[in-house]
Amino acid sequence: MVALVASIVRTQHLIGILRDKRPWPSLRNLMAFLAIGYGVYLYAIVANIPMNKDLIAGEIFFLAALFMLLVVQYAYQTIHDILHLDELKQLANSDELTGLFSRRAILKRLEDEFQKAGRFGFSMSVAMIDIDHFKAVNDTYTHVAGDEVLREVAKVLQKRLRKFDVLGRVGGDEFLCVLPGTGDVGAMTTAERIRERVTELRFEIVAADNLRVLKNGEETDKETFTTTVSIGVATMHSGIENTTELVRASDVALYAAKDAGRNKVMLADVEDSAC
């Protein structure tokens, strides 16, 4: 009975030691206790020392069970931490409002696609998209309404792109599309599809800070407004040496579309983009 009480006291003391320890020191200490227990048990058998071997064996099995419990617990915590880090990484790579790639993430993907295209001789284009008169939307219908317009335009962009195209938000109302394996004709066709679909968007003013997207042909007696986009397209060629120059070329084409009256798609001039 005395030995059993002593065993319980030692076990409680051990649990108290491990309770506030970080994972690896706790496991290390528990492994040390296990090793000592096995050593004492084997010594008692070899030396034929009269002692309660069953009690010692019971303590060893209990420690082994406690060790496995801690391993499982720490393994679960490690998996949870890994998933949390992955979630944080996803959040860092995503634009909170639209769910698209963030500026940093889309530029990284652009760099990857640019290197791949150069290495294998593939064509590649980018399209810089800007919502026309977006400041007026914010000023007239509030920023909440402006956010809804951004989300709806982002949905249109996603639906009009291929699965392997890459899309991100690079500014307040600017989006960048990376179009791998696409030359100027294909990029212009894609950009024109996007422009046309955006012009079909109609927003109903339900109440202050509340918009509703109208379906095609749907009638309403409330105030409505539409939006358009201007798009600058640039294609990778021998005059463009890096992604900075490629994005700059699409920006030049975008401003040309703005200057031409907005709601247009313009292709970057090879000579201008090489400057």
pLDDT digits (tens, 9 = 90+) for 4-53: 455 555 555 555 544 555 555 666 666 666 666 667 666 666 777 666 65
pTM of the model: 0.68
Report the run of H or E that residue 217 belongs to, with start and end: none
- Return the minimum-mean-pLDDT range out of 45-49, 83-87, 182-186, 232-236: 83-87
| Domain definitions of the chain by residue range | 2-93, 103-274
pLDDT at residue 228 above 80?
yes
d(CA 235, CA 125): 4
Percent of the chain at pLDDT above 90?
Answer: 51
User: Domain 103-274, what architecture?
Assistant: 2-Layer Sandwich (3.30)
Q: With H, G, I as helix, E, B as strand and everything else as coil, classify residue 21.
A: coil
Model pLDDT for residues 64-99, shown as the tens digit of each residue = 666 666 666 666 666 655 555 555 455 468 898 999
**Residues with Cβ within 8 Å of residue 29, at least 6 apart in sequence:** 17, 18, 21
Per-residue exposure over 163-177, b if at least 16 CB sit within 10 Å of its own CB, e if not = eebbbbbbeebbbbb
Q: What is each CA distance from 46 to 38, 39, 42, 43, 50, in whole angstroms?
A: 12, 10, 6, 5, 11
Q: Which residues are catalytic?
A: 173
What pLDDT is attached to residue 216? 77
The 3-state DSSP class for residue 121 equals coil
The Cα 116–Cα 93 span in angstroms is: 21
